[in-house]
Structure 1
Amino acid sequence: MATSLTVLESPATTCCSPITGGAMSSEDATALAAKFKAIGDPTRLRLLSLVAAHADGEACVCDLNEPLDLSQPTVSHHLKILVDAGLLTRTKRGTWSYYAIVPGALPALADTLQV
């Protein structure tokens, strides 16, 4: 029996059944693959880690350039991919964007691999 997991931005939205829980639909496989592709890049994994380790679990894009030694446009590109994958949220305050990990998104993603 397949169960639904919360792996998108909204906790009320369900996407994907666990890989071992039954045959996955094409749409669910596409959505899940996008999330794994997003975290399949070392820079994006570091960004997730930096955001999670930041005070209050939220980081300004201006605080993420230096630790990665990357330009602001490059960091913003990687952050956009993580937001589009439903792993980070983005809040705009004035000219700066602040990022936070979507509550439950990473554990739900990990749950899809459990046997």
Structure 2
Amino acid sequence: MPTLPGKNRAKTAELCHALADETRLDILDQLKEGERCVCELTDALQTGQSRLSFHLKVLKDAGLILDRPEGRWIYYAINSEAVEELEELVGSLKATRKTVRPSSRC
């Protein structure tokens, strides 16, 4: 039976951790529409800047988002390469068998 990609299990765990929070999912949902600055995200999510910054750091450290400074502002966007990596991860979780085995007693 295939296993999760073994080359970087720590990275897989980091990606899953980053996605395991509603606020971070809300941030990603906002970024689906394109690049956003912190002030736009703060307004859209109705949250404080320090809380938002914490979640942006988790997403950035996991590689799920990219940042781009422009003057006084920092703009964030989804990292499309990370999305492709996630698609591969989810694909690796698919069962190779189409039938369900009868349950055993062990």
TM-score when normalising by structure 1: 0.71
CA distance in 1: counterparts of 2:56 and 2:67, whole angstroms: 9
Structure-2 change in CA distance of 1:94 and 1:41 (3 Å)? same
Which residue pairs with 2:69 in the alignment? 92
Please say which structure displays the higher CA radius of gyration. 2
Q: Using the TM superposition, give the Cα deviation of residue 23 of structure 1 relative to its aligned residue in structure 2, in angstroms.
A: 6.1
The runs of at least 4 aligned residues of structure 1 exceeding 6 Å deviation read none
Q: How many residues align?
A: 92
Q: Percent of aligned positions with the same letter in both sequences?
A: 35
Which residue pairs with 1:51 in the alignment? 31
Kindly indicate whether residue 90 of structure 2 is the aligned counterpart of residue 113 of structure 1: yes
- The partner residue of 2:12 within 14, 32, 36 is 32
Q: Using the TM superposition, give the Cα deviation of residue 60 of structure 1 relative to its aligned residue in structure 2, in angstroms.
A: 0.7
Kindly indicate whether residue 43 of structure 2 is the aligned counterpart of residue 63 of structure 1: no
Structure-2 change in CA distance of 1:24 and 1:102 (3 Å)? closer
- Aligned-residue RMSD, C-alpha: 1.8
| Structure 2: segments with no counterpart, 5+ residues | 95-106
Which residue pairs with 1:103 in the alignment? 80
Kindly indicate whether residue 55 of structure 2 is the aligned counterpart of residue 74 of structure 1: no
Secondary structure, aligned partner of 1:109: helix
Secondary structure, aligned partner of 1:104: helix
Structure-2 change in CA distance of 1:32 and 1:75 (3 Å)? same
Q: Which amino acid aligns with 2:65?
A: L
Of 36-45 and 64-73, deviating more is 64-73
